[in-house]
């Protein structure tokens, strides 16, 4: 396994990646900005100092950056603050990685697409309609000028199956069982991807030596409403209790892309990725919440 430092290892995806890399390299460095943890090195991506981690001296070959300000609303309302992390600090960090002879690996998003058609492949034109998408696109476009061996991994919605992890399925299960009113969009479509499948795909991408842009997501496309309704059924609840809406009927969702489902042609050509069906994971999450 390629020895890889994880910048932003306290977040959901970062934690899972770090766990996988530490199976092969127990001393794998992970960093955190917002959480003080004994097993993570403090690191401020707004003012990156990669040399302080002494990665080359410790045999590292790559730096994978999961750090970001991913909240869509925050990016719209606090553009400069978000830009300082998502673009300014990010590009400086990636430049430092390349300057040290380390492969820079950047996690991007399906929000770089306009969401008009869905089914976006690796080389589909990017036309983001949100500030978050534009910031991710800016890094995607600049990274090839920074390092020839760069890697951009585009993600869709990533979820887990642990009770209380507050990701997609668990969040719906918790809300439904609590009797909370739910209004969920029927026209917001994406490719929900199990976090362990994502980690396995990233390891395969490194093993195969892929470069450039690689989409990584489940081949299934789901509307957010159908995910919520599916969880309701697995919990033995009536999906009719969920209020079906159009995404843009909510003022806060204006401009959000509707269908950001993706295809993963480059990944499929290089390896044989295995993605767990979402329906199977609904059953696992429902079992977490059922008595006994």
Handedness of CA 64, 76, 134, 248 (dihedral sign): positive
Q: Are residues 32 and 98 in the same domain?
A: yes
DSSP 162-216: STT--SHHHHHHHHHHTT--EEEESS-EE--EEHHHHHHHHHHHHHHT--EEEEE
The number of domains in the chain is 2
pTM: 0.96
What Å distances lie between residue 174 and 73, 170, 178, CA to CA?
23, 6, 6
Asked whether residue 268 is domain-assigned, the answer is no
Q: What is the pLDDT of residues 86-130, one digit of tens each?
A: 999 999 999 999 999 999 999 999 999 999 999 999 999 999 999
CATH number of the domain at 146, please: 3.40.50.720
Asked whether residue 271 is domain-assigned, the answer is no
- Supply the mean pLDDT for the chain: 96
Q: What is the pLDDT of residues 121-170, one digit of tens each?
A: 999 999 999 999 999 999 999 999 999 999 999 999 999 999 999 999 99
If we measure between CA atoms, which residue out of 175, 170, 185, 158 comes closest to residue 68? 158
Q: Are residues 9 and 154 in the same domain?
A: yes
Q: Are residues 51 and 183 in the same domain?
A: no
Q: Are residues 52 and 167 in the same domain?
A: no
If we measure between CA atoms, which residue out of 114, 210, 84, 104 comes closest to residue 150? 104
What pLDDT is stored for residue 221 in this prediction? 98
Q: Are residues 179 and 126 in the same domain?
A: no
What pLDDT is stored for residue 281 in this prediction? 98
Alpha carbon distance 20, 204 (integer Å): 12
Report the pLDDT averaged over residues 185-214: 97
Q: Are residues 97 and 169 in the same domain?
A: no
Q: Are residues 225 and 149 in the same domain?
A: no
CATH number of the domain at 240, please: 3.90.25
Tokens 């199976």 correspond to 23
Structural domain including 234 reads: 162-189+220-261+277-289
Handedness of CA 33, 158, 195, 211 (dihedral sign): negative
Tokens of 182: 């739910």
The answer, yes or no, to whether residue 37 has pLDDT greater than 90, is: no
Q: Are residues 120 and 177 in the same domain?
A: no
Calculate what percentage of the chain has a pLDDT beyond 70. 100
Compute, in degrees rounded to 10, the torsion defined by CA atoms 28, 206, 69, 178: -90
What pLDDT is stored for residue 96 in this prediction? 98
Residue 181, C-beta contacts closer than 8 angstroms, at least 6 positions apart: 243
Q: Are residues 168 and 36 in the same domain?
A: no
């Amino acid at each position: 396994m390629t020895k890889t430092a994880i910048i932003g290892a306290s977040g959901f995806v970062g934690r899972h990646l770090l766990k996988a890399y530490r199976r092969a390299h127990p001393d794998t460095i992970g960093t955190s900005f917002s959480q003080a943890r004994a097993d993570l090195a403090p690191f401020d991506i707004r003012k990156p100092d990669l040399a302080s981690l002494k990665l080359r001296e410790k045999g590292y070959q790559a730096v994978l950056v999961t750090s970001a300000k991913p909240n869509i609303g925050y990016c719209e309302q606090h553009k400069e603050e978000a830009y300082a992390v998502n673009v300014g600090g990010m590009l400086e960090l990636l430049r430092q990685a390349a300057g040290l002879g380390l492969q820079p690996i950047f996690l991007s998003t399906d929000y770089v697409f306009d969401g008009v058609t869905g089914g976006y492949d690796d080389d589909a034109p990017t036309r983001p309609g949100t500030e978050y998408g534009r910031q991710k696109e800016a890094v995607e476009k600049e990274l090839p000028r920074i390092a020839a061996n760069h890697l951009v991994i585009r993600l869709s919605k990533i979820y887990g199956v642990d009770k209380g992890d507050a990701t997609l399925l668990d969040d719906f299960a918790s809300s439904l069982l609590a009797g909370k009113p739910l209004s969920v969009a029927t026209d917001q479509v994406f490719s929900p991807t199990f976090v362990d499948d994502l980690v396995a795909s990233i390891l395969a991408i490194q093993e195969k030596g892929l470069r450039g842009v690689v989409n990584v997501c489940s081949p299934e496309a789901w509307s957010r409403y159908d995910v919520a309704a599916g969880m309701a059924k697995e919990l033995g609840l009536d999906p009719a209790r969920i209020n079906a809406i159009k995404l843009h009927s909510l003022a806060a969702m204006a401009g959000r892309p509707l269908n950001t489902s993706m295809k993963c042609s480059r990944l499929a050509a290089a390896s044989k990725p295995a993605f767990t069906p979402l329906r199977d994971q609904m059953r696992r999450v429902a079992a977490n919440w059922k008595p006994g």
